[in-house]
A and B are shown apart, each in its own frame.
Chain A
């Protein structure tokens, strides 16, 4: 079955970087985009950006443009999201999600299980 498995929880100090991985299985990795979405404790969902595993094209949300890098490794069907210059506001669960495009529309399905990132001195 289609599955996204993310790396484990991380604890980082303010100013550090975090890199979260998302390994896909059960489908052709290069045929679908991967988006990253985060959720602060008790809060809603915030889209961070998208990457195409087919050609490496990216589209970052303006809020994260200067601090995020999304990459993929097609040999292992793995997507990565690196966020730099962490502050306490970046403490959240980070999800990857497969993005399906059909015609002019798109949706996220399935999602990874989430990776908790804690930022603490």
Chain B
């Protein structure tokens, strides 16, 4: 299976800060990488697909980049509603989907 890691595991930031979360794959996955946001007690929500495509309805302060093994999710100006945990997911191997361990963002 392709292993996914994320850093940091948690971070504290203030409203208006620029926040960057990193996701790394154990092998090259091209741009087959998705990002999800999960708030406590809720289901995950798709933010970014194919590494850099913004899902419809997601605020433009969210952006994704990267290819190969290294990817980033950036929140350009953190808002109070962005308090959540963020997961990356590799879509390179559809027969063995794996997620990163998550990054918890505290405001």
Contact = CB atoms under 8 A, between A and B. Distances in A.
Given A44-B87, A45-B87, A108 B99 contact: no
Interface stretch (A12-20, A72-80, A83-91, A109-117): A109-117
Interface in B64-106: 87, 89, 91, 94-102
Contacts of B42: 113
Given A45-B44, A112-B43, A107 B96 contact: no
Contact of B99 (A46, A50, A107, A111): A46
B50 A108 contact: no
A86 to B, nearest CB: 22
Q: Is chain B's binding surface mostly helix, strand, loop or mixed?
A: loop
Given A45-B44, A46-B99, A105 B50 contact: yes
Given A106-B91, A108-B89, A47 B98 contact: yes
B46 interface: yes
B55 interface: yes
A35 interface: yes
A106 B91 CA distance: 6
A62 interface: yes
Interface string A40-83: 00001111001000000001011000000000000000000000
A46 B96 CA distance: 10
5 nearest A-B residue pairs (beta carbon): A111-B43, A109-B46, A47-B97, A45-B99, A107-B49
